[in-house]
Amino acid sequence: MAETITSMSAVPADSSFLFSVEDAFTNEREAILVPCEDDPGVEAWINDCPHEPQKLDRGMGAAMRDGEIICPKHGSMFDACEGGCSNGPAAGMSLLPVEVAVEDGDVVLVDDNYEFLQAGGLEDDDGPSSTSNIGF
Instruction: Please state the separation of Cα 107 from the chain's center in Å.
Output: 13
- Please give the Cα distance from 39 to 54 (Å, whole number): 28
CATH assignment of 3-119, given 3.20.20.70, 3.40.50.300, 3.30.70.1230, 2.102.10.10?
Answer: 2.102.10.10
The rounded radius of gyration (Å) of the Cα atoms in the chain is: 16
Give CA–CA dist 79/92, Å, rounded: 12
Q: The pTM is what? A: 0.88
What is residue 2's predicted lDDT score, i.e. its pLDDT?
86
Q: Where are the domains of the chain?
A: 3-119
Evaluate if residue 135 carries a pLDDT over 50: no
**pLDDT tens-digit profile of 63-118?**
999 999 999 999 999 999 999 999 999 999 999 999 999 999 999 999 999 999 99
DSSP annotation of 85: B
Which range, of 36-40, 48-52, 125-129, averages the lowest pLDDT?
125-129
